[in-house]
Chains A and B, each alone.
Chain A
Amino acid sequence: MKQQKVEKSKYLHLRGQKKPKSHIIAVGGGKGGVGKSFVSSSLALFLSQMGYKTILIDLDIGAANLHTYLGLNTPENGINQFLSTPHMKLMQSKMDTNFKNLELISCASDALETPCLSESGRSRLMSSIYNLEADYVILDLSAGTQTSTLDFFLMATQHIVVFTPEPVSVENTYRFIKSAFYRRIKRFEFQLNLESEISMIMGKKDEYGVRTPGDLIHYLCKHNPEKGSELEKLMSQFKINIILNQGRSQKDLELAPSLESVCRKYFGISCELLGQVEYDNAVWQSLRRRKHLLVDCPTSRLYTQLMSISRTLTKPHHRKAVV
């Protein structure tokens, strides 16, 4: 046991040092039904149309349905096979879609039992995702704040949180961001040897006046300036993008910049609004026809809204024509 820990610490400093072979975008959100799969499939469609080689990965293990959004039948191959077959490569489990440049790795399975994601399975999957060769890899995450979901969310180079303008969704969104934030701190506390200090502070939160995650870092900076500022520096690299989905009124759409501001004030992290997407009945109507909205109903207002979000995403990587 002890030996294992030593081994682990030997490699821990390498964490986060290795660069992924693609730009990984994680689409998450605390609540189910807010449109994570719709948003991630739409972004993937646009990115592939822009000419980027895109791989869409369904990580909603147990409730996968990205293939349906893309108008495909239940795939035979996917993450489940990858996890249950020791020497299989993740590349082998991907499937073509009807769209150029877009491939899907699904985890839908008709097996009797959905395989449980063990810790070793999770790290194998994560390192395989890291090594996928593509321009963009988009991870569609499950709802909730299970550690595996948070780990997939945090492994990405860009973190997107989708929410709808309802109190339940707002509450879960905050909870999700908070959990991700603490999970991220947990990852660094071992590296910086701050484990005991942080657990002591969190144990006596009220006594130390630590109410928000931002307070925790602030407190550490004051009392342990060297490591506190190092942690602050590491955490400042953590940026979150938010997308408001299913906005029905102007007031709903105005909620997005407010949420952005509250996240900044509460967490002290950079939070940026990528865009707002309106509510449109065409989404479920297209789904019933088993086609993606962007294919079935390109006249919908959502088309331009999602396109502008995709363009914002790719801005730093825009390919420019060379004359």
Chain B
Amino acid sequence: MGSARFNEQTYYEILEIEPGAAQNEIHLAYQKAKSTYSPDSPALFTMFSEDEARELLDLIEEAFETLSNQARRKKYDASLAVRHSSKQELPDLEVTTDNEDHSSSRTDTKNSPGVRVLNKRDSVPEGFAKTKFSVYEVDKDLEQEIAESNEFDGPFLQKVRLYKQINLEQISNETRISKSYLSALEGDDYEALPAAVFVRGFVVQVARTLGLDEQKTASLYMTKFKANSGK
């Protein structure tokens, strides 16, 4: 379709920066792009539909996730160079090797299974519970596992999030933490995360949104983070 062209742009073109751009330039470009293509941006009026804007916004997010992480950026640059030298038609950008974690985050924002917007009056049927964003079926075994767990790592946070049928975008909107950090948090990608003091703040906010015990979750996550990240 019309927006297929955006898929063919490189991450650098999407963020409108030079391939050699410094980290701070990437960050500035990302913030500018995000404010330009947010659905309520006046600059989009009559030009891009809401769906197109969302698609672009996802691409911007994806571009930032890759370019803001040194290791991933290096890999991506290498894949670009290969593509350039073989002069093939530009393949789909998601071919880059270590995209699994964030491509999954993209799919679960789009195909979020039956997330309903709740009215305050909505009552929850028996055997179900609700969060600010969703209604989910209570799984007693999992509830117990959450209560008794002595280890809170990324995948476990993701498990809880998926169980409660909340998607990354909702958490990102609520906590104002970018989706790239959220998926790094869930993927235990310590390299992509900032210093420990910030990560602790992120975990507290995510735990609060997921309805978990903030202090317990944060201290358990941070123990693991400090042991493995060297930060």
Question: Once bound together, how far apart are the Cα atoms of A258 and B45, in whole Å?
Answer: 11
0/1 interface trace, chain B 52-69, chain A, CB 8 Å (1 if under): 000010000000000000
Interface centre among B1, B4, B35, B47 (most CB of A within 10 A): B47
Residue of chain B at shortest CB distance from A214: B5
Determine the chain A residues whose CB is within 8 A of the CB of B220 once the complex forms. none
Give the shortest distance, in Å, between B161 (CB) and chain A (any CB).
32
**Interface set, chain A 258-291, CB cutoff 8 A to B:** 258-259, 261-262, 264-266
Of A165, A218, A258, A262, the residue contacting B5 (CB under 8 A) is A218
Determine the chain A residues whose CB is within 8 A of the CB of B16 once the complex forms. 261, 264
Q: Is A209 an interface residue (CB 8 A)?
A: yes
Give the shortest distance, in Å, between A214 (CB) and chain B (any CB).
7
Given the interface pairs A209-B2, A218-B5, A266-B48, the reply to whether A165 lies near B36 with Cβ below 8 Å is no
0/1 interface trace, chain A 201-218, chain B, CB 8 Å (1 if under): 000000001111011001
Category for how many chain B residues contact A: 20 to 34
Of B2, B32, B42, B45, the residue contacting A261 (CB under 8 A) is B32
Q: Is A95 an interface residue (CB 8 A)?
A: no
Given the interface pairs A264-B16, A266-B47, the reply to whether A170 lies near B2 with Cβ below 8 Å is no
Q: Is A96 an interface residue (CB 8 A)?
A: no
CB-based contact A170/B5 at 8 Å? no
Question: Once bound together, how far apart are the Cα atoms of A28 and B77, in whole Å?
Answer: 41
Q: Is A254 an interface residue (CB 8 A)?
A: yes
CB-based contact B4/A258 at 8 Å? no
Determine the chain A residues whose CB is within 8 A of the CB of B36 once the complex forms. 257-258, 261-262
CB-based contact A262/B48 at 8 Å? yes
CB-based contact B42/A170 at 8 Å? yes
Q: Is B46 an interface residue (CB 8 A)?
A: yes
Question: Once bound together, how far apart are the Cα atoms of A255 and B46, in whole Å?
Answer: 15
Question: Once bound together, how far apart are the Cα atoms of A28 and B3, in whole Å?
Answer: 29
Q: Is B6 an interface residue (CB 8 A)?
A: yes
Question: Once bound together, how far apart are the Cα atoms of A54 and B197, in whole Å?
Answer: 61
Q: Is A316 an interface residue (CB 8 A)?
A: no
Determine the chain A residues whose CB is within 8 A of the CB of B47 once the complex forms. 174, 262, 266
Determine the chain A residues whose CB is within 8 A of the CB of B43 once the complex forms. 170, 255, 258-259, 261-262
Determine the chain A residues whose CB is within 8 A of the CB of B6 once the complex forms. 265
Q: Is B80 an interface residue (CB 8 A)?
A: no
Q: Is A167 an interface residue (CB 8 A)?
A: yes
Residue of chain A at shortest CB distance from B53: A262
Determine the chain B residues whose CB is within 8 A of the CB of A262 once the complex forms. 36, 43-44, 47-48
Question: Once bound together, how far apart are the Cα atoms of A62 and B180, in whole Å?
Answer: 56
Q: Is A76 an interface residue (CB 8 A)?
A: no
Give the shortest distance, in Å, between A207 (CB) and chain B (any CB).
11
Question: Once bound together, how far apart are the Cα atoms of A215 and B47, in whole Å?
Answer: 13
Determine the chain B residues whose CB is within 8 A of the CB of A214 once the complex forms. 5
Give the shortest distance, in Å, between B207 (CB) and chain A (any CB).
33
Q: Is A195 an interface residue (CB 8 A)?
A: no
0/1 interface trace, chain A 166-178, chain B, CB 8 Å (1 if under): 0100110011000
Determine the chain A residues whose CB is within 8 A of the CB of B4 once the complex forms. 209
Determine the chain B residues whose CB is within 8 A of the CB of A171 once the complex forms. 45-46
Q: Is B70 an interface residue (CB 8 A)?
A: no
Determine the chain B residues whose CB is within 8 A of the CB of A261 once the complex forms. 16, 32-33, 36, 43
CB-based contact B45/A167 at 8 Å? yes
Q: Is B223 an interface residue (CB 8 A)?
A: no
CB-based contact B35/A215 at 8 Å? no
CB-based contact B32/A170 at 8 Å? no
Determine the chain B residues whose CB is within 8 A of the CB of A264 once the complex forms. 16
Residue of chain A at shortest CB distance from B56: A265
Question: Once bound together, how far apart are the Cα atoms of A194 and B1, in whole Å?
Answer: 23
0/1 interface trace, chain A 274-315, chain B, CB 8 Å (1 if under): 000000000000000000000000000000000000000000
Q: Is B41 an interface residue (CB 8 A)?
A: yes
CB-based contact B5/A254 at 8 Å? no
CB-based contact B2/A254 at 8 Å? no
CB-based contact B2/A165 at 8 Å? no
Determine the chain B residues whose CB is within 8 A of the CB of A175 once the complex forms. 46
Give the shortest distance, in Å, between B101 (CB) and chain A (any CB).
27
Determine the chain A residues whose CB is within 8 A of the CB of B44 once the complex forms. 262
List 20 interface pairs A-B (beta carbons < 8 Å), by A numbering: A167-B45, A170-B42, A174-B45, A209-B2, A211-B1, A212-B2, A215-B2, A218-B5, A254-B35, A257-B36, A258-B32, A258-B35, A258-B42, A259-B43, A261-B32, A261-B33, A262-B43, A262-B48, A264-B16, A265-B56
**Chain A: residues with CB nearer than 8 A to chain B?**
165, 167, 170-171, 174-175, 209-212, 214-215, 218, 254-255, 257-259, 261-262, 264-266
With A258-B36, A261-B36, A266-B48 known, 20 other A-B pairs at CB within 8 A are A165-B42, A167-B45, A170-B45, A170-B46, A171-B45, A174-B45, A209-B4, A210-B2, A211-B1, A211-B3, A214-B5, A218-B5, A255-B43, A258-B32, A258-B41, A262-B36, A262-B43, A262-B48, A265-B56, A266-B47
